[in-house]
């Protein structure tokens, strides 16, 4: 009975979150079809549906790119369109029931092995999914966070468990493969996690299975990139830590604007427009903007170190709501500079959001301190604590190098609530319960 109620509960959370996101227009749905999907995925999806090809050009005059977005998100909705058609709300509901369900199943499996009751499981799930940041970011379409955060939660629970079986090895490998094809920063995250797993399991033959999955998909994507662009690569060329986004996060305007002003304002000011002679060469564009960013950083290394600390402080310590100032229309460079003055103009809503983000950041720093202490002392959940520190560190570094806003931090906060909840329950376990050493 309790299990049926639990399954009903997480389905209700998934459906209600989807409907809320749709009603509040957190998911763009101008024409009501899945082709309203954001973040540059719509073009790839339309070509998959119309022509069965993976490319971005829809209008004949457009440059034709093949690696600006990783394929998992477009392929999810391409396959879903055979099941539910083109209706965006149907895609939203099915996607969220599946992905929320993956995290729910992983949590249930982890918790029940440790005699954690269904009421406690539901409470943990509520903390992870119904806190304001998760509620805003996780049910959405288009932005990769609406897909990979759920999978990372499942991966964390699998890594946190020290019991390593054949099924668990293949599940971790499958998650590595999907994550690496979802967002560019996840490829190095999974590579390091695979090495960590090999070291933890002392190079047991079974521990090589996840690495094989990961290397297989990275090899396949790299081959695709080479065949279509001539470049061997394991990532998409639009990532948070390379190319245009690396430049957006490392230039003369950032200190005046970040984190309150959304750095897409640089695009509105025309600063990310590639030179005309390389506009149809996607990796040449990537290389051009990487060089601009590196030139800015390498001109003065002492300034570069101060600048990286500035961004670290902005991401993890600043009491402010990220990207609260957005620019939708084209502006001049002078108008871009003027945006800095808006940072001091705050409404009551801005102050409330700043306090909210400050609380999240404080809890996150405290959770990292707790995890590091537990790894050192071995008192509560060493494997879970080590996995938590590892994933958070790997996810944070690319965003400090590039740039991060609220949606990027949703994964850290979701992991935080999951980890802290499990630690709380473990610390209250009586006697020498196995949970104390998991």
Average pLDDT over residues 4-12: 97
pLDDT at residue 139, rounded to an integer: 96
Distance from C-alpha of 322 to C-alpha of 315, rounded to nearest angstrom: 8
Statement: residue 438 has pLDDT above 70: no
Burial class (CB in 10 A: 0-12, 13-18, 19+), 169: buried
Domains of the chain by residue range: 2-161+351-437, 243-345
Q: How many CB atoms lie within 10 A of CB 96?
A: 26
pLDDT at residue 355, rounded to an integer: 94
* Residues 186-241: tens digit of each pLDDT: 999 999 999 999 999 988 899 999 999 999 999 999 999 999 999 988 777 778 77
pLDDT at residue 235, rounded to an integer: 79
Average pLDDT over residues 325-350: 90
Statement: residue 109 has pLDDT above 80: yes
Out of 27-31, 59-63, 288-292, which region has the weakest mean confidence (pLDDT)? Answer: 59-63
Average pLDDT over residues 17-42: 88
Statement: residue 291 has pLDDT above 70: yes
**For 274-283, which contacts have Cβ atoms below 8 Å and span 24 or more sequence positions?**
279/63, 280/63, 280/64, 282/63, 282/65, 282/66, 282/67, 282/68, 282/229, 282/237, 283/67, 283/229, 283/230, 283/231, 283/233, 283/237
Distance from C-alpha of 344 to C-alpha of 358, rounded to nearest angstrom: 17
Comparing CA positions, the residue from 415, 417, 414, 419 lying closest to residue 134 is 414
* Residues 395-436: tens digit of each pLDDT: 998 888 888 777 788 899 999 999 999 999 988 765 444 433
Please report, to the nearest 10 degrees, the dihedral formed by the alpha carbons of residues 316, 320, 326, 332 taken in order.
-90
CA distances to 364, 380, 419, 437 from 427, rounded to whole Å, are 19, 6, 12, 10
pLDDT at residue 16, rounded to an integer: 98
pLDDT at residue 379, rounded to an integer: 80
pLDDT at residue 238, rounded to an integer: 74
pLDDT at residue 390, rounded to an integer: 96
The whole model's pTM is what? 0.94
pLDDT at residue 294, rounded to an integer: 93
Name the helix (H) or strand (E) containing 206: none
What is the separation of C-alpha 404 from the centre of its chain, rounded to a whole number of angstroms? 10
- Mean pLDDT, rounded, of the chain: 91
**For 158-163, which contacts have Cβ atoms below 8 Å and span 24 or more sequence positions?**
158/106, 159/193, 159/196, 159/197, 159/383, 159/387, 159/391, 160/110, 160/381, 160/383, 160/384, 160/387, 160/388, 160/422, 160/438, 161/110, 161/113, 161/383, 161/438, 162/383, 162/438
pLDDT band at 378 (very low <50, low <70, confident <90, very high): confident
Average pLDDT over residues 283-299: 93
Statement: residue 78 has pLDDT above 90: yes
* Residues 127-175: tens digit of each pLDDT: 999 999 999 999 999 789 999 999 999 999 999 988 889 999 999 999 9
pLDDT at residue 432, rounded to an integer: 40
Distance from C-alpha of 12 to C-alpha of 100, rounded to nearest angstrom: 10
Distance from C-alpha of 235 to C-alpha of 182, rounded to nearest angstrom: 10
Higher pLDDT, 21 or 164: 21
Out of 157-161, 370-374, 383-387, 433-437, which region has the weakest mean confidence (pLDDT)? Answer: 433-437
Average pLDDT over residues 261-268: 93
């Amino acid at each position: 009975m309790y299990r049926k109620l639990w399954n009903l509960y997480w389905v209700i959370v998934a459906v209600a979150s989807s409907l809320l996101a749709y009603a509040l227009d957190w998911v763009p749905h101008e024409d009501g079809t899945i082709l309203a999907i954001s973040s540059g995925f719509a073009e790839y999806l339309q070509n998959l549906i119309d022509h069965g090809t993976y490319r971005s050009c829809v209008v004949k005059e457009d440059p034709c790119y093949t690696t600006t977005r990783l394929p998992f998100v477009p392929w999810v909705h391409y396959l879903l369109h055979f099941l539910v058609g083109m209706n965006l709300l149907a895609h939203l509901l099915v996607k969220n029931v599946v992905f929320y369900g993956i995290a729910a199943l992983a949590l249930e499996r982890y918790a029940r092995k440790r005699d954690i009751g269904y009421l406690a499981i539901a409470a943990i799930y509520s903390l992870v999914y119904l806190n304001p940041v998760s509620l805003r970011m996780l049910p959405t379409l288009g932005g990769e966070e609406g897909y990979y955060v759920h999978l990372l939660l499942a991966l964390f629970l699998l890594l946190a468990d020290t019991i390593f079986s054949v099924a668990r090895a293949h599940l971790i490998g499958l998650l590595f493969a999907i994550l690496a094809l979802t967002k560019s920063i996840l490829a190095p995250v999974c590579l390091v996690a695979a090495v960590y797993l090999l070291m933890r399991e002392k190079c047991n033959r079974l521990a090589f299975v996840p690495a094989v999955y990961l290397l297989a998909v990275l090899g396949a994507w790299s081959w695709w990139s080479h065949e279509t662009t001539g470049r061997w690569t394991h990532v998409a060329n639009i990532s948070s830590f390379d190319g245009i986004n690396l430049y957006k996060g490392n230039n003369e305007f950032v200190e005046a604007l970040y984190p309150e002003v959304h750095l897409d304002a640089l695009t509105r000011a025309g600063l990310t427009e590639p030179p005309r002679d390389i506009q149809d060469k996607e990796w040449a564009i990537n290389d051009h903007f990487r060089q601009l960013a590196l030139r800015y950083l390498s001109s003065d290394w002492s300034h570069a170190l101060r600048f990286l600390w500035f961004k670290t402080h902005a991401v993890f310590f600043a009491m402010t709501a990220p990207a609260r100032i957005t620019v939708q229309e084209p502006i001049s460079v002078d108008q871009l500079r003027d945006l800095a003055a808006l940072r001091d103009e705050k409404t009551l809503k801005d102050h409330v959001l700043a306090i909210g983000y400050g609380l999240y950041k404080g809890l996150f720093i405290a959770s990292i301190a707790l995890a590091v202490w537990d790894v050192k002392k071995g008192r509560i959940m060493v494997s879970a604590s080590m996995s938590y520190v590892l994933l958070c560190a790997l996810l944070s570094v690319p965003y400090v190098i590039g740039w991060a806003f609220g949606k990027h931090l949703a994964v850290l906060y979701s992991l935080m609530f999951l980890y802290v909840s499990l630690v709380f329950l473990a610390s209250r376990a009586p006697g020498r319960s196995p949970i104390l050493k998991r």
